[in-house]
């Protein structure tokens, strides 16, 4: 396990080990090379110390530490002279801390430290460290040490290690912080774009109470009360808040205020107002010696509106912290739910002590209840102490709107962030690119857990519902659960919970069968991972170092999702042989038309082909690289120039091909649907949708019929045509080139009937259809392999032909006339038996399966 860092202070030596990070470093450098714009500030890699640490500048670990230290103003000349200096930051030449990496940390103490521990907010982080006190042996002294291991997992941002140790009876603290970097995206470029998209739909969802890392909180427009942000801001503002209160307690503001006292004449002192003196004389003359007189005086009083405001602020902050602590302690009681460390809960309690001390000040006992400020107060805005408390309160009221990037708060893991962002990216594509309008919004169904964190209402209960001008309805759901008890879609053995489900319902007018609506489902699973290791079955030409691929297990999961889900519909009545009672068995079908992983791969999607494009077309399984586009990044950082890079172009093009689009037009104009009427046919005709079980066939139209004219009589035996007239024909052949100029190749396997047009008049310009011939089998043969009996004449040509084996014909009650036959392709049309039964002229024959036409 190579050593990354070794630093020395007068009290301890700090070191960090990990396994080889060269692969993660290479991946990170490739990501930065592709993703960081030339105008974007290059990141710096730092260790931060609070308070500033006295470090030996003679220790440099394999040139990892930069030559120029970021020195604090607290540097002292005598420390520098001795080779020591105080540092608030230490800049490294190379990034060392990455996501999903395990690091071992150790503090070795030079003095006799009796106790040392981490006081991180997360209980799991603190429990990963073990303190070993100093031990004296016959071979010498083994110094005290604190050792632990942290796996960064999918937590990115600043990881703070708050060390607390007891030395010579005094508690000392030293915080060391470093930034954990993602390797698959740019921390300060991609994540802000994702945060912005999430905040628009799910405000405050991304914030978490306790994670391993913290990030600078980005600006949010959310008003109202959200405890996590209030707590994060209070932690950052607490010192300024308490310092302002100390100043106020030392010199509280007072103001001369008029008071009226009722005093007996014997206690009146000083010069009296003329009117009052005359009144006293008159009363004495009348013998009234015990009467009281109202005397108005002015005296200094602390019962001012400013002090009432201060009392309200302190009381409300104290109450807020007390409620927060009480709820968190209650939520953290169960052993399986102990996320919060005792040090964090004790810290919350300690924050209340200074506030309680302020409330106990004698001058506040004279201060009344706060009823608001009737006008602006210069005291609150300008006076020392009061102005500090006033500003802190305003910032706490407005949460992040004012305080901005100076506060630090935990975020949900980047894997959760990426998953929800992918979900919202699909929502954006449906609304902005495919012409859908949001008609039902499930974003308002956020719930708050016991740790004051917002959670999504998963499943179809929290889904978005869209509708388009052509009647197509789409529903986008996050993590719906398909179980054994599902009524519409069921997983018979194990419950399935894909990240994203897109369900599209076609109206009858766009369905292949106009008698019912059609539903199609596509599944997406967000995987914040990239393939790093080849397996022995991979293509040797696959270069995973220069090309981003999704991990193999993610593709395997897509196969599982598609195979596991079964749609139940239209139950059929069956007779039970044992009881004779009628039972119902639902009709089963597979509703998933594709399952795809979404992963943070980087490609220039405008010029390159998706490495999974062939698999998606052939079997409906694959993956799409998905990252914020350059346009999105430019919106979050105006200093960046826009480029042609689009992080979701492949996904957009796929959805356009599946669902179609309605382009936006000017007001008052109708939208033109960029899609043919038989929309369902376009989906059914895809290669992936037509894969049957071995030994079975899968067709869209069970009575698909092709109309086509018989060949000319020149050179053919008359007996060949008589067989068709008399219903004795067994074979029909057609040039493959002629067929493929009209229809796609797979249609030849789906044709169930041939409607052959013939006539006895060889000079006629048109023919008619009298019979329908069932197709038993179709084969592809060179022309010379087709016999004279099968074709009416022999040929030595090696051109490929379709040879249809025919069954006994069906006679039409009313022939279909006016069938053109020159050229032959004019007589070729796909229809159904029902359509032919209801027409008499060829021009009236309804076409089907237009998506199968070339």
Tokens representing 246 are: 């100390």
Q: How many CB atoms lie within 10 A of CB 795?
A: 16
Say what the pLDDT of residue 804 is: 94
The helix (run of H) or strand (run of E) holding residue 403 is helix 400-403
Domain ranges of the chain: 3-183, 218-252+304-406, 414-537+544-659, 692-852
The helix (run of H) or strand (run of E) holding residue 86 is strand 84-92
Query: Distance between CA atoms of 351 and 364, rounded to whole angstroms?
Result: 20
Tokens representing 463 are: 């889904």
Residue with tokens 């499930």: 442
Q: Which residues pair with 656 in a beta bridge?
A: none
The per-residue DSSP string of 430-463 comes to: HHHTS--EEEE--TT--EE-TTS-EE---EEEEE
- Would you say 489 and 568 are in contact if contact means Cβ atoms under 8 Å apart? yes
Say what the pLDDT of residue 687 is: 73
Measured at the alpha carbon of residue 675, what is the angle toward residues 669 and 681, in degrees to the nearest 5?
A: 150
Q: How many CB atoms lie within 10 A of CB 258?
A: 9
Low-confidence stretches of the chain (pLDDT < 70) are 1, 36-43, 57-85, 216-226, 259-261, 266-267, 295-297, 334-337, 398-408, 443-445, 449, 451-452, 458-462, 509-516, 534-545, 570-584, 630-645, 663-679, 760-765
Write down the number of H helices and E strands in the chain: 23, 37
Nearest Cα to Cα of residue 464 among 492, 435, 427? 427
Nearest Cα to Cα of residue 482 among 493, 473, 471? 493
Query: Distance between CA atoms of 573 and 581, rounded to whole angstroms?
Result: 10
Say what the pLDDT of residue 584 is: 59
Secondary structure in 3-state letters for 795-831:
CCCCCEEEEEEECCCEEEEEEEEEEECCCHHHHCEEE
The helix (run of H) or strand (run of E) holding residue 148 is strand 145-151
The per-residue DSSP string of 497-515 comes to: --SEEEEEEE-GGGSSSTT
The 3-state DSSP class for residue 493 equals coil
Dihedral angle of Cα 266, 267, 269, 273, to the nearest 10 degrees: -70
Residues in the chain, total: 854
- Would you say 637 and 191 are in contact if contact means Cβ atoms under 8 Å apart? no
Query: Distance between CA atoms of 746 and 834, rounded to whole angstroms?
Result: 22
Say what the pLDDT of residue 225 is: 56
Q: Which residues pair with 340 in a beta bridge?
A: 122
- Would you say 195 and 202 are in contact if contact means Cβ atoms under 8 Å apart? no
Say what the pLDDT of residue 690 is: 72
Q: Helices 305-331 and 386-397 meet at what angle, rounded to 10?
A: 50
Tokens representing 289 are: 């010696």
Query: Distance between CA atoms of 521 and 482, rounded to whole angstroms?
Result: 13
């Amino acid at each position: 396990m190579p050593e990354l860092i070794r630093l020395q202070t007068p009290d301890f030596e700090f070191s960090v080990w990990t396994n080889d990070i060269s692969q993660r470093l290479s991946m990170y450098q490739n990501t930065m090379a592709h993703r960081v714009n030339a105008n974007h500030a290059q990141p710096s890699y730092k260790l931060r110390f609070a308070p500033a640490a006295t470090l030996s500048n003679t220790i440099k670990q394999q040139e990892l530490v930069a030559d120029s230290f970021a020195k604090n103003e607290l540097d002292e000349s005598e420390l520098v002279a001795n080779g020591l200096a105080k540092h608030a930051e230490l800049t490294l030449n190379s990034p060392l801390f990455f996501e999903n990496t395990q690091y071992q940390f150790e503090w070795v103490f030079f003095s006799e430290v009796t106790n040392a521990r981490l006081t991180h907010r997360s209980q799991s982080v603190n429990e990963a460290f073990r303190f070993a006190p100093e031990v004296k042996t016959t071979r010498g002294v083994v110094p005290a040490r604190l050792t632990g291991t942290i796996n960064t997992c999918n937590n990115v941002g600043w990881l703070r290690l708050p060390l607390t140790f007891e030395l010579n009876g005094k508690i000392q603290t030293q915080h060391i912080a470093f930034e954990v970097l993602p390797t698959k995206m740019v921390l300060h470029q991609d994540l802000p774009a994702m945060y912005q998209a999430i905040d628009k739909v799910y405000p405050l969802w991304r914030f978490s109470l306790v994670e391993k890392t913290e990030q600078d909180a980005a600006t949010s427009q959310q008003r109202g009360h959200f405890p996590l942000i209030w707590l994060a801001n209070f932690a950052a503002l607490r010192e300024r808040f308490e310092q302002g209160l100390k100043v106020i307690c030392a010199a509280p503001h007072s103001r001369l205020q008029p008071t009226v006292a009722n005093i007996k004449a014997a206690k009146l002192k000083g010069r009296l107002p003329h009117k009052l003196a005359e009144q006293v004389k008159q009363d004495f003359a009348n013998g009234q010696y015990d009467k009281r007189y109202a005397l108005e005086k002015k005296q200094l009083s602390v019962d001012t509106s400013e002090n009432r405001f201060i009392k309200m602020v302190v009381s409300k902050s104290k109450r807020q912290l007390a409620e927060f602590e009480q709820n968190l302690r209650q939520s953290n009681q169960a052993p399986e739910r102990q996320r919060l460390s005792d040090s964090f809960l004790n810290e919350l309690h300690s924050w209340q002590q200074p506030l309680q001390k302020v409330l106990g000040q004698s001058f506040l006992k004279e201060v009344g209840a706060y009823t608001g400020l009737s006008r602006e107060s210069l005291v609150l805005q300008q006076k020392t102490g009061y102005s500090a408390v006033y500003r802190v309160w305003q910032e706490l009221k407005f949460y992040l709107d004012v305080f901005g990037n100076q506060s630090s708060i935990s975020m949900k893991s980047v894997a959760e962030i990426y998953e929800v962002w992918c979900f919202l990216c699909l929502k954006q594509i449906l609304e902005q690119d495919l012409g859908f309008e949001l008609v039902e919004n499930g974003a308002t169904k956020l719930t708050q857990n016991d740790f004051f964190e917002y959670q999504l209402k998963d499943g179809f209960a929290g889904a978005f519902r869209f509708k388009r001008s052509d009647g197509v309805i789409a529903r986008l759901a996050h993590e719906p659960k398909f179980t054994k008890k599902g009524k519409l879609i069921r997983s018979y053995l194990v419950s399935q919970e894909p990240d994203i489900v897109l369900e599209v319902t076609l109206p009858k007018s766009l369905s292949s069968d106009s008698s019912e609506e059609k539903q199609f489902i596509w599944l997406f699973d967000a995987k914040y991972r990239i393939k790093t290791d080849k397996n022995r079955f991979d293509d040797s030409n696959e270069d995973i170092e220069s090309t981003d691929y999704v991990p193999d297990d993610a593709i395997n999961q897509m196969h599982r999702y598609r195979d596991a889900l079964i749609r139940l519909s239209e139950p059929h009545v069956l007779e039970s042989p044992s009881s004779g009672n009628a039972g119902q068995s639902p009709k089963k079908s597979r509703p998933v038309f594709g399952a795809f992983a979404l992963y943070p791969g980087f490609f220039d999607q405008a010029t390159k082909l998706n490495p999974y494009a062939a698999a998606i077309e052939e079997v409906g399984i694959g993956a799409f690289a998905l990252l914020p586009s350059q346009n999105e990044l430019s919106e979050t950082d105006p200093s960046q120039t826009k480029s042609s890079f689009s992080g979701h172009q492949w996904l957009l093009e796929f959805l356009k091909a599946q669902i179609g689009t309605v382009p936006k037009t000017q007001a008052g104009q109708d939208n033109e649907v960029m899609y043919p009427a038989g929309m369902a046919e376009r989906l059914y005709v895809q290669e992936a949708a037509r894969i049957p079980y071995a030994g079975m066939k899968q067709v869209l139209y069970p009575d698909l019929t092709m109309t086509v004219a018989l060949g000319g009589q020149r050179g053919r035996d008359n007996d060949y045509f008589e067989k068709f007239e008399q219903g004795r024909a067994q074979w029909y052949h057609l040039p493959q080139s002629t067929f493929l100029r009209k229809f796609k190749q797979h249609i030849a396997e789906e044709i169930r009937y041939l409607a052959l047009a013939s006539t006895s008049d060889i000079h006629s310009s048109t023919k008619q259809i009298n019979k329908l011939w069932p197709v038993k089998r179709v084969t592809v043969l060179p022309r010379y392999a087709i016999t004279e009996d099968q074709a009416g004449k022999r040929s030595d040509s090696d051109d490929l032909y379709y040879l249809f084996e025919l069954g006994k014909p069906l006679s039409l009650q009313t022939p279909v006339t006016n069938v053109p036959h020159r050229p032959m392709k004019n007589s070729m049309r796909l229809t159904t038996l029902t359509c032919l039964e209801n027409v008499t002229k060829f021009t009236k024959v309804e076409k089907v399966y237009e998506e199968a036409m070339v």
